[in-house]
């Protein structure tokens, strides 16, 4: 984590004084972008850097769905299975991808290329069904567009 401290210093300048605790979410997010997950050492170092209790960071990591403490596949496919996506065929698309990759939500392909997850409504209901691939939204999915996309993701 330590090599990110110059970035964190810049971030800190944008917040009012006394807002150190607020830096937990943005710093954790940046650490995860950098390493792929948040390691135990990151927690210790970030707590020290911000002067906040380690337990706060651990709670944040376990509370929010976007944070993780273990590595996952290179491409994280997150399928929305909320109301509007379900009403527009999300289940079929997901079943198609499960067959193609041979994994279920919560699993990673043995080559470490894909991790599959469910997600709740991602604010894309008008362009359902949809999934997130890492941070990007892919909308109006069909089996054909999903197939083409999976080919591209090496």
Partner 1 sequence: MAGRQLLMTFPVTATSHSLAEYLARGGYVALAKTLREMKPQDVVKEVAASGLQGRGGASFEVGRKWQVVQYDDGHPHYLIANADEGEPGTFKDRWILENNPHVLLESMLIASYALNVRNCFVYIRGEFDLPYRRLAGAVEEAYAAGYFGRNVLGTDFACDIVVYRGAGAYVAGEASGLIASLEGKKSYPRNRPPRLTVRGLYQQPTVVNNVESLSNVAGIVLHGAAAFRTVGTAKSPGTRLISISGHINRPGVYEVECGYPWMKFLEEDCGGVPGARPIKCVVPGGVSSKVLTGAEIKELVLSHEALWDAGSTMGSGGMIVIAEGTCMVSLLQVILRFYHHESCGQCTPCRHGTGWMHRIIDRIVAGGGMPDDIDRLYYVSKFNDGTTICGLGDAAGYACTGILDKFRDEFEYYIEHKRSKYGGSLECLKSS
Residues that bind partner 1 (CB under 8 A): 14-16, 18-19, 21-26, 28-29, 52, 56, 59-60, 63-67, 81-84, 86-89, 119-128, 132, 135-137
Q: Which residues lie across from 133 on neighbouring strands?
A: 77, 136
Residues in the chain: 154
We find the least distance from the C-beta atom of residue 123 to ligand FES, in angstroms, to be: 6
We find the least distance from the C-beta atom of residue 109 to partner 1, in angstroms, to be: 23
Q: What does 87 bind: partner 1, ligand FES, none (CB cut-off 5 to 8 Å by kind)?
A: partner 1
Q: Are strands 136-138 and 131-133 parallel, antiparallel or unpaired?
A: antiparallel
Under the criterion CB under 6 A, does residue 84 sit at the interface with ligand FES? yes
Residue 23 or residue 129: which is nearer to ligand FES going by CB? 129
We find the least distance from the C-beta atom of residue 32 to partner 1, in angstroms, to be: 10
We find the least distance from the C-beta atom of residue 110 to partner 1, in angstroms, to be: 27
Under the criterion CB under 6 A, does residue 85 sit at the interface with ligand FES? yes
- DSSP per residue over the chain, as a string? -GGGHHHHHHHHHHSPTT-GGGGHHHHHHHHHHHHSS--HHHHHHHHHHHT--HHHHHHHHHHSTT--SS---SEEEEEE-SHHHHHTTHHHHHHHHHHHHT--TT-B-TTS-EEEEEE---S-GGG-S-EEETTEEE-S--HHHHHHHHHH--
Residue 6 or residue 123: which is nearer to partner 1 going by CB? 123
Considering only residues 87 to 126 of the shown chain, the ones binding ligand FES according to CB under 6 A are 121-125
Q: Which residues bind ligand FES (CB under 6 A)?
A: 80, 82-85, 121-125, 128, 130
């Amino acid at each position: 984590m330590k090599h990110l401290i110059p970035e964190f210093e810049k971030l800190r300048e944008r917040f009012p004084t006394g807002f150190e605790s607020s830096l937990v979410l943005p710093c954790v997010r940046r650490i995860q972008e950098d390493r792929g997950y948040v390691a135990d050492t990151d927690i210790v170092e970030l707590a020290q850097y911000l002067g906040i209790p380690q337990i706060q960071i651990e709670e944040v990591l376990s509370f929010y769905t976007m944070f993780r403490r273990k590595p996952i596949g290179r491409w994280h496919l997150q399928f929305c299975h909320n109301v509007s996506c379900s009403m527009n065929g999300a289940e079929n698309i997901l079943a198609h991808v499960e067959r193609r990759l041979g994994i279920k939500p919560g699993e990673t392909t043995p080559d470490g290329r894909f991790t599959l997850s469910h997600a709740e409504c991602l604010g894309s209901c008008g362009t359902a069904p949809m999934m997130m691939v890492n941070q990007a939204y892919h909308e109006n999915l069909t089996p054909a567009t999903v197939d083409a996309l999976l080919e591209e993701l090496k």
